[in-house]
Homo-oligomer: A and B are copies of this chain.
Amino acid sequence: MDYSQFIAELGQIETITNPSQVAKLSEDYFKFSPVLTQQLTGKVGDLVVRPNNEAEVLQIARACVKHRIPITVRGSGTGNYGQAVPLQGGVILDTSKMQKIHWLKPGLAFVEPGLKLGNLDKQARQIGWESRMVPSTVRTATVGGFIAGGSGGIGSILYGQLRDRGNLKAVRVVTLEDEPRVIELRGDRVQKVNHAYGVNGIITALEIPLAPAYAWAECIVAFTDFMAAAHFGQALATSDGMIKKLVSVHADPIPTFFIPLREYIPPQAHIALVLVAESDLESFKVLVAEHGGDLCYEKDAQAASKGTSLVEFSWNHTTLHARSVDPALTYLQSGFPADPDLKLVQHMHEHFGDEVIMHLEFVRSAGEVVPGAIQIVRFTDCDRLDQIIKYHEENGVFIANPHTYILEDGGMKQVNREQLEFKQMVDPYGLMNPGKMRAWFEQSGK
């Protein structure tokens, strides 16, 4: 297809057509998955557009509708499920120039989608606040990308998941109708586009809640036994009198993948990575002692704000470090049921041994503390990966499969009628991130 007319219609809006740049901006971190690598490698857009504001997004939307060009929205491309990969070419809308903070006040911020979470936090901390939750990619990930493709992260032990009512206050989206328009969604209506991979509206602004910014100390606690580390994590996660932002537990040999931390961690250790309020550090150390842990790394908030944060060894950064050491490693995403004894965690840990290495992230879900898990998997082939997933599911572990780019096949498991109906309204030509929403493409063929 010839894009010259399309580009001319965009006027002053920045476009990128250089193939190597376009190819780079067509990727995200799907390489974490050997399955997705096979399916998505080589999928590229035709050109990239970089609007400065909502008015330019409207202009792009109009041109795309007119020429029936598919459009895939992209933040920083730190997602892992290929949600930013254009399956049918077309335009990549890169939000990186839309970084404005419209306003910021105690408890709330209204921002553009391309704002980096780390920059939001820097500004918010000036008035004593920060994001309620962030991914481990906080330094580069965007607010819009996190909402469109994330589910929770560091802070979820205090505030639950992004899907929980209250964790997204409002969004503005541009439609792909014959005459594109801006729709503001507030209250539960935000769920129409929350975690929808950008298939049904281009997010142009978000109102998000903020959390009080504690001074976070960073600690590593080492154990000689994995279940001791896991029980420590459970105890900390359920200690209501200690404020923590991260409780991340890693079975040996995961700590050996953390090269920059190797000097601090004893050999063959199972560890917990913790962010705890500095004012609760003394109480925290009592818990560490009670569980027989070895506090092998400790930085107060001041020290932790410099250099590398433990945040960048948790959640999916764990997988990143593992794959840096051994690119054959991949991962799973799981939700274990709430259980003070962690019986099912123990069973899976013992059952799979070194093939599925346990990595727990404790989070709050519907008012309860539950162990999420982002296990490191020694990949052999797709059949074995399916077997592993099946065994977990049959034993009551919820798997949010990260080896699919289909919206419904990941964590959702079923058609989200609300999101589908919204797509039917705002994207009648099926131009938005085509091929990602099963409910849509099984109906329309695209």
Which residues of A line the B interface, CB within 8 A?
106-108, 128, 132, 158-161, 164-167, 169, 186-188, 209-210, 212, 214-215, 237-243, 277-280, 282-287, 364-369
Contact = CB atoms under 8 A, between A and B. Distances in A.
Nearest to A209: B279
B107 A215 contact: yes
A286 B188 contact: yes
A284 B209 CA distance: 13
29 contacts: A106-B215, A106-B279, A107-B215, A107-B278, A128-B212, A159-B240, A160-B241, A161-B241, A164-B239, A165-B239, A165-B241, A165-B242, A165-B287, A166-B240, A166-B241, A166-B280, A166-B283, A166-B284, A167-B241, A186-B282, A187-B285, A188-B286, A209-B241, A209-B279, A238-B366, A238-B367, A240-B364, A367-B369, A368-B369
Between A160, A165, A364, the greatest number of chain B beta carbons within 10 A of the residue's beta carbon is seen for: A165
Contacts of A239: 160, 164-166, 367
A279 B107 contact: yes
A364 to B, nearest CB: 5
Copies of this polypeptide in the complex: 2
A369 B160 CA distance: 14
Nearest to A129: B212
B367 A237 contact: yes
Contact of A367 (B161, B164, B240): B240
Nearest to A242: B166
Contacts of A287: 165
Between A239, A240, A286, A287, the greatest number of chain B beta carbons within 10 A of the residue's beta carbon is seen for: A240
B286 A241 contact: no
A105 B416 CA distance: 47
Nearest to A213: B212
Nearest to A210: B279
Contacts of A215: 106-107
> What are the 5 tightest A-B residue pairs by CB atom distance, in nearest-first order?
A238-B367, A160-B240, A107-B279, A166-B241, A212-B212
Contacts of A186: 282
A240 B287 CA distance: 24
Nearest to A207: B282
A166 B160 CA distance: 22
A365 B369 CA distance: 11
Between A106, A164, A241, A282, the greatest number of chain B beta carbons within 10 A of the residue's beta carbon is seen for: A241
Contacts of A132: 241
Contacts of A160: 239-241
A161 B240 CA distance: 8
A283 B277 CA distance: 27
Nearest to A284: B166
Given A128-B128, A278-B107, A367-B369, A169 B283 contact: yes
A71 to B, nearest CB: 30
A169 B159 CA distance: 24
Contacts of A366: 238, 240
Contacts of A106: 214-215, 279
A369 B365 CA distance: 11
B167 A108 contact: no
Nearest to A158: B240
A164 B237 CA distance: 13
A282 B128 contact: no
Contacts of A278: 107
A58 to B, nearest CB: 26
